[in-house]
Homo-oligomer: A and B are copies of this chain.
């Protein structure tokens, strides 16, 4: 038996168990699910030594293998981080249950009663990189939204993930829900990822979380419906009518407050009318903050600016780099964004109402921001309370995905003998 067919069998088995669990989860009350979430949180704290020991194995292996320090940092668990993960589960318990919410309802002309009700997807597949916190976040959000989840984390985090999933499953069982609500997919081979992506019918939705390469692979290979998340080449456009006193802090915040996240600014567009005034101020402030500025020919005339390539304008740096281009006006900014944006978040800084209206109407991204930092596109900031990721696709969910976005709906139609 080839490795690929073994992996298919593994996924078929996991998927079948998840399906059975999903039937029970779909009918679980909020009280039961919340009790399980609190039990999961407590179990993480109770098993801290074992979890940290498993994580230490992953970290040691990563360090021995020469993994970059920032990646090792994401992989590393500490008592504080574990406590944060536990608190995250308790926070999810505090959120409203999306399942059963009546989205719309009416009585039809013939007396039929129509209700559209939120229901879980069923079985969710998560594919993600070496961040053990995603294991716990996804388990909690999926359980609360009534979905069974198959977790395919990175092989470099597999000791951590197996320890976490083991602890969570025991807590779920103790709380009276099926352990197979949360299952780890073996991470020993890429074949399991491939099998997961081909598990149409077994898995209802696949959510990749990670870099652009991972997401592109899943989108290309998967026959299971995918929700794309989190690639952000976010733009800030500084209009000629921007308030200079507001523009500088917003540009700095969007680029430098945290560079490794998808809602950080990667591209700055400046109105041509500001070429000799605000543009040099912005560029030198960015440079003083430690940012490398990749500029178009106009911008590259300024000191210390690296000439930008075509590629630079399309790049999500996730680092202290930014591409800067001068545009003729708001329509020039819109055209540039249409060409290069990944559709995550674009901001305009302007005090002119018509310009702001034009920008918000014409820019088609998950979030369009006026006079604020791109960094606000976030489930927590938006008040959604928990976030499984930020969708950059147009189907189903767009922008930060909270609990309601982890559900489908069904129509319940009640009559008393109605025929057509």
Contacts and interface: CB of A to CB of B under 8 A. Distances in A.
A382 B119 contact: no
- Interface size bucket, A side? 35 or more
A371 B414 contact: yes
Given A360-B412, A413-B367, A417-B243, A225 B395 contact: yes
Contacts of A373: 418-420
Given A382-B108, A395-B227, A372 B408 contact: no
Nearest to A100: B361
A364 B26 contact: yes
Given A257-B420, A373-B420, A375-B420, A411 B383 contact: no
Identify the interface centre among A114, A362, A372: most chain B CB within 10 Å of its CB. Answer: A372
A372 B410 contact: no
Contact of A27 (B356, B362, B372, B398): B362
Interface in A367-382: 367-373, 375-377, 381-382
A155 interface: no
Contact of A419 (B26, B204, B223, B257): B257
Q: Chain A interface secondary structure, helix, strand, loop or mixed?
A: mixed
A366 B410 CA distance: 5
A27 B361 contact: yes
B366 A411 contact: yes
Given A253-B420, A383-B108, A225 B393 contact: yes
14 contacts: A26-B362, A119-B364, A225-B226, A225-B395, A227-B395, A257-B420, A367-B412, A368-B410, A371-B418, A373-B418, A373-B419, A375-B419, A394-B408, A396-B396
Closest 4 CB pairs of A and B: A372-B415, A253-B419, A372-B418, A394-B408
